[in-house]
Chains A and B, each alone.
Chain A
Amino acid sequence: MKYRNDTIIAFGLIVFCLINYFYLIPSQVIKQGSQSTYVYIVNTFLFLSSIGYFFQGILQKKFLTSGNQENKINKDSKKSIIIIILVAIWILLMDYLGFLLSTIVFLIVSIATLSNPPRNYPKLLILSILFSLFIYILFTVILKTILPEGILEVLLQDIIY
């Protein structure tokens, strides 16, 4: 499985390098007025490495029996993918809800996702609120910087100041 992955990834990289040569570098570098020699050198290095990777993948596939194939990457990635999706939603919500509310929601959902049942929701809620508040206070009050603002931040600023 892994070596099939290798050849597919290598093939994808070769295609990317070709697109880079004939489309991206002319449109995203040369057309913008930039010097392209170094970009071509780097792309050629990546292209040659990808070709080597591709053929090594094929050779290795022939060399090894399926029994020798790597098992290390056979891990359950369901939780990490859910967390990645949650992080993406959190970032999108941050602009609309502000840092505090979006982070509290993110923490509750992500901690619940990573916890095994039975989940202690009151504890989870308190932890999420306290940690979000700690980060908010650390940044805005101690480090004097700003975090994306929403309804909770406005309320909190009214209380603090």
Chain B
Amino acid sequence: MNFISNLMDGINYGFSFLNLLGILVGYLLGIIFGAIPGLTGGMAIVLLLPFTYNFSPIFAIATLMGIYKGGVYGGSITAILFNIPGTPMAAATAFDGYPMRIKGEGLRALEMALFASIIGGTVSNLLLMFTAPPLARVALKLGPAEISALIFFALTIITNLMGNAAIEIWKGLVAAGLGLLFSIVGLDMLTATRRYGFGIIQLDSGINYIVAIIGILALAEVFNQIDQAGELKLAVLKEVKIFKRPTMKSRLKDLKICAKDIFRSSIVGSIIGALPGLGATEAAFLGYGEAKRNSKHPETFGEGEIIGIAAPESANNAVCAASMIPLVTLGIPGSVVAAALFGAFMIQGMMPGPMLMKTNPEVIYGLFVLMLVTDILGGLIVAYPILYLAEKYMKKIAYNVLFPFIIVFCAVGSYGINFNTFDIKVLLFLGVFGYFIKRNGFFGPIFLIAFILGPFLERNVRTALIISKGSISIFLRSPVALILLAFSVIYTISSIKKKFKK
């Protein structure tokens, strides 16, 4: 009953012309960023983040969710048309998308990618809507020791799942440690005394999390992409003159053929999305692999099989809403985009987590409802017309102009937080730091997630220690905390052992 009334409040609060417009504009931005190789929807979210200070909470988050979902779909456009995935999560789509385009069935492939994305996204939205409230109720019962253990557990899970080799797991742990250490800089939250200030007064307020998000996710990425700019040229690919337009009958036939795989991949994507550390790329490949494994004609995969597009696209889009589950229920961002959305909630003065569902249910339920319509409205109103323009305009992208423009945007966005060039200097430092760690095989997102979670981990650890009068046994006396900590350690050791030979 409570769920229904909250949902009704959410509908009343969320459904407005402005919010729907925000979603559509966000979806458009997301498609543009997602379609351009080297840029991602996540980067678009990060660049827009400082500007959301002036937005209403639901408008800001809904627009950013629109970008996220548009970005995931946008990646498939270049994957199908040019065999260059706009984002890594669209890589599996290129396997069959590009062969279809060569056969003159590019539009059929693009449409199937769109329909599968809409269905995958919708399944994931429903899962979020129905699982988040009960999970949040459980999360509310956790004390500071349990929350500390949970954050530590999430960090180790993310590290273990992102690392493919033993050394990568160690690097992930180092990145998490550095992220936690960077988050300590600034005034002590309890005593208001300086920590790691080095005589710089501007560091009293610590490293701004928006600057950190822009530096690590956008600026470092631009520096990294500059090195790869030669691999991103779209204009050199061969022309295909034939462009068959699908009929309504053929569309329905395609959907019937792919229905089972779309549904399976949507579930797979939703489950993967809900796990911290795993993302749309893993979901897409798993969805593709499962579709091929279950096919009566696996040999057709890679040759332009329509199911080979439907499966990864429904899987990677199903990740979007599901990846919000750890964020809204536990306050833990399990992915890069969730980390950026965490920042967006904070800008609005809201702390993501179980309390948010209690204190601002209208925002969360309004968001659920808006997310449900994002896929359908964004897909049909925004994405569909773009398909017809994509091939013509995508080739005209000039990276030599685009990258400096993004750098200026990053700097201005950081400057706009405190109107101080010191923030731009910190941005450059973090951008170079992020670039350096990425070049050396570290995961920037792990650093960032640890940096964002750092203050909450510190607050909970210190609160737990105050309760126990300084004894760390509090973490061992709580069965939940003990299990989480023990599992973190055992899982990390076994992962390192298992992945050692890779």
Tell me if A73 is interfacial: C-beta within 8 Å of chain B.
yes
Flag the segment in B10-18, B19-27, B130-138, B170-178 that touches A.
Answer: B170-178
User: Do A39 and B184 touch (CB < 8 A)?
Assistant: yes
Known: A56-B170, A73-B441, A79-B227. A131 touches B196 (CB 8 A): no
Which of B120-128, B383-391, B395-403 lies on the face that meets chain A?
B395-403
Q: Please, which residues of chain A bring their CB within 8 A of the CB of B470?
A: 37
Q: B168 to chain A: closest CB distance in Å?
A: 9
Chain B residue with minimal CB distance to A138?
B412
Residue A84 CB within 8 A of the other chain: yes
Contact of B191 among A33, A45, A60, A103 (CB under 8 A): A33
B194 within 8 A of A: yes
B465 in the interface (beta carbon within 8 A)? yes
Scan residues 126-161 of chain A and give those whose CB is less than 8 A from a CB of chain B: 127, 131-132, 135, 139, 143, 145-148
Q: Is A28 within 8 A of B181, CB to CB? A: no
Contact with B along A40-80 (1 / 0, CB 8 A): 01110110011011001101100100000010010111011
Contact of B173 among A52, A73, A80 (CB under 8 A): A52
Across-interface contacts of B439 in A (CB, < 8 A): 73, 77
What sequence of 0s and 1s flags, for each residue 97-125 of chain A, a beta carbon within 8 Å of any chain B beta carbon? 00000010011001100111000000000
Given A6-B167, A131-B408, the answer on whether A32 and B223 have CB atoms closer than 8 Å is no
Specify which chain A residues have a CB less than 8 angstroms from the CB of B496 in the assembled complex: 52, 56
Contact B411 A91, beta carbon cutoff 8 Å: yes
Given A32-B195, A56-B166, A143-B54: A80 touches B224 (CB 8 Å cut-off): yes
B residues 413-470 touching A (CB-CB < 8 Å): 415-416, 419, 421, 424-425, 428, 431-432, 435, 439-441, 458, 461-462, 465, 470
B303 within 8 A of A: no
Please list 18 pairs of residues, one from A and one from B, whose beta carbons are closer than 8 Å in the complex, sorted by A's number: A6-B167, A9-B440, A13-B174, A37-B462, A38-B184, A45-B176, A46-B174, A50-B177, A53-B167, A56-B496, A60-B166, A87-B411, A91-B424, A114-B226, A114-B399, A114-B403, A135-B408, A143-B416
Would B191 and A34 count as touching, CB distance under 8 A?
Answer: yes
Interface residues on chain A, size class: 35 or more
| Cβ of B197 under 8 Å from chain A | yes
The reply to whether B407 and A34 form a contact with Cβ atoms under 8 Å apart is: no
B180 and A42 form a contact (CB under 8 A): yes
B393 at the interface (CB under 8 A from A): no
In angstroms, how far is the closest chain B Cβ from the Cβ of A143? 7
Chain B residues with Cβ under 8 A from A88's Cβ?
428
Q: Give the residues in chain B near A53, CB-CB below 8 Å.
A: 167, 170-171, 173-174
Q: Please report the total number of B residues contacting A with Cβ < 8 Å.
A: 61
> What is the distance, in angstroms, from B402's C-beta to the closest C-beta of chain A?
9
Across the interface, name the chain A residue whose C-beta is closest to B502: A60
A18 contacts B by Cβ under 8 Å: no
Residues of chain B within 8 A (CB-CB) of A52 are 170, 173, 496
Whether the pair B170, A91 counts as a contact (CB closer than 8 A) is no
**Interface contacts beyond A114-B399, A139-B416: sample of 18 additional A-B pairs, CB < 8 Å, sorted by A:** A5-B440, A34-B191, A43-B181, A49-B174, A50-B177, A73-B440, A79-B227, A83-B404, A84-B223, A87-B431, A91-B425, A94-B424, A114-B400, A114-B403, A115-B400, A132-B408, A146-B419, A147-B415
Residues 183 to 231 of chain B near chain A (Cβ within 8 Å): 184, 188, 190-191, 193-198, 223-224, 226-229
Compute how far the CA of A107 lies from the CA of B399 in the bound complex, rounded to whole angstroms: 13
Report if B405 contacts A (CB, 8 A). yes
- Is A24 positioned at the interface, with any CB of B under 8 Å from its CB? yes
How far apart are A70's CB and chain B's nearest CB, in angstroms? 8
Q: Which residue of A lies closest to B459 (CB)?
A: A38
Nearest CB in chain A: distance from B437 CB, A: 9
Residues B177 and A34 in contact, CB atoms below 8 Å apart: no
Enumerate chain A residues within 8 angstroms of B198, measured Cβ to Cβ. 28
Which of B229, B431, B500 is close to A114, meaning CB atoms less than 8 Å apart? B229
